Amino acid sequence: MNVYDAQRMADVLAPEGYAAAAHLEEADLVVLNTCHIRERASEKVFSELGKLRALKAERAKAGQETKIVVAGCVAQAEGAEIFRRQKAVDVVVGPQSYHRLPELLRRAESSRAVLDTDFPAVSKFDHLVAPAPAAIRKRGVTAFVTVQEGCDKFCTFCVVPYTRGAEDSRPVEDIAAEVEMLAAAGVREVNLIGQNVNAYHGQMQGGAAASLAALMARIGSVPGIARIRYTTSHPGDMDASLIRAHRDQPKLMPFLHLPVQSGSNAILARMNRKHTRADYIALAGEIRAARPDIALSSDFIVGFPGETEEDFGATLELIEHIVFASAFSFKYSPRPGTPAAELDDQIPEAVKVERLSRLQTLLDQQRYAFNRKMVGRVLDVLIEKPGRHKGQIAGKSPYLQPVLMDGSAERIGEIVSVEIVSAEGNSLFGRPLPEQPAREALR
């Protein structure tokens, strides 16, 4: 979502004469797009602002003006605090108001500090600016497309409902029009994104609400689009139609990010996740029954308030039972204003560090094993860019694994059948088989 929002801000600023600077030191405008999910990310904002303040002062000595904008969820949550701690900031803008960025910059010409963190009555989707075809081509053959924003789940650890607001979905045909524009500019794969994307309920022609599965059926009909992905999902919104889409929609890739957060029922209840360990295991079984070759990814939080060693052990047992192709894992980070931050039984930092190490060791073992299982198989790889070395190209497997191989950059945008010859922790290495026609994802 942050990548997509950054691109949208660039699209809004382009008609105002702004273009991306090759180097930070050359920028007349610096936009710091921020995340508030964890304390470390939030504190990094203020560290970066200290460096930007020095850059702004240095450019001012040379008679060059530099505007500094803080955007995103830290801006939404801590707007006044940003201005208090860093006087060099000119504009603070929340996620709902990116379309007003040119106006805010004009206001900053006559005001030292401009703050816009309101939640407008109208959807921000109404103000999306279409990127120029040249900008789309520069971004590559894959693209994020926002279809939903906000979350109504109110997990006790999470700031998203407070910084992104209530769930809101774009109309189906608005999304389809954007995808058609992307396809016309050479995009082959779209990743449908939202804070809780499988809660999508956008309006169809005629006024009825569409499910995410119905939206993907519409996207799948767009000529040129060969692959569809979506993220991030909540287990509670993984309905039967979406599970069937994994079985029936050939363009939907066999990779699903489905956050569970913990394997302990007690901790899941304290997190207000609204699902149990058994619910998640049963759901994973249904999904795999519909699409046997699907790979699952997840999120885990260790050291949530009140987590005992037995609770943590239940998480390790869940991981061993499900087996994940990849995962994101974090130490619990108290976020101001969330219910979990007020709980008394916070876990000592040393305990969180030790548990995270054990968790990541197990997850890394599973990821390495999954990658090694690809050796000797033929995968369809979407070529996205030149590789690390001359004469090398790189792309993604159906399972979102980076794949490197020898080949010409002229093949960027093609889906190539590739025999995987070796695997490292994070990448696969393959040999293209040009004599074989590109196939659908492994079935």
What is the pTM (predicted TM-score) of this model? Answer: 0.88
- Parallel/antiparallel/unpaired status of strands 415-423 and 428-432: antiparallel
> At 212, phi and psi to the nearest 5?
-65, -35
* Residue 162 neighbours by CB under 8 Å, 6+ apart: 76, 77, 337, 338
R_g of the chain computed on alpha carbons: 23
At 17, which amino acid appears?
Answer: G
- In whole angstroms, give the CA distance from residue 351 to residue 249: 44
- pLDDT in single tens digits along all 443 residues of the chain: 888 888 889 999 999 999 989 899 999 999 999 887 777 777 888 889 999 999 999 999 999 999 999 998 888 888 888 888 899 999 999 888 888 899 999 998 887 788 877 766 556 676 667 787 888 888 899 999 999 988 999 999 998 888 888 899 999 999 999 999 999 999 999 999 999 999 999 999 988 999 999 999 999 999 999 999 999 999 999 999 999 999 999 999 999 999 999 999 999 999 999 999 999 999 999 999 999 999 999 999 999 999 999 999 999 999 999 999 999 999 999 988 899 999 999 999 999 999 999 999 999 999 999 999 999 999 999 999 999 889 999 999 999 999 999 999 999 999 999 999 999 878 999 999 976 554 443 33
At 88, which amino acid appears?
Answer: A
Pair 114, 90: CB distance under 8 Å: yes
Cα angle 331, 336, 338 (rounded to 5 degrees) comes to 80
Pair 191, 159: CB distance under 8 Å: no
**Tokens 């287990």 — which residue?**
235
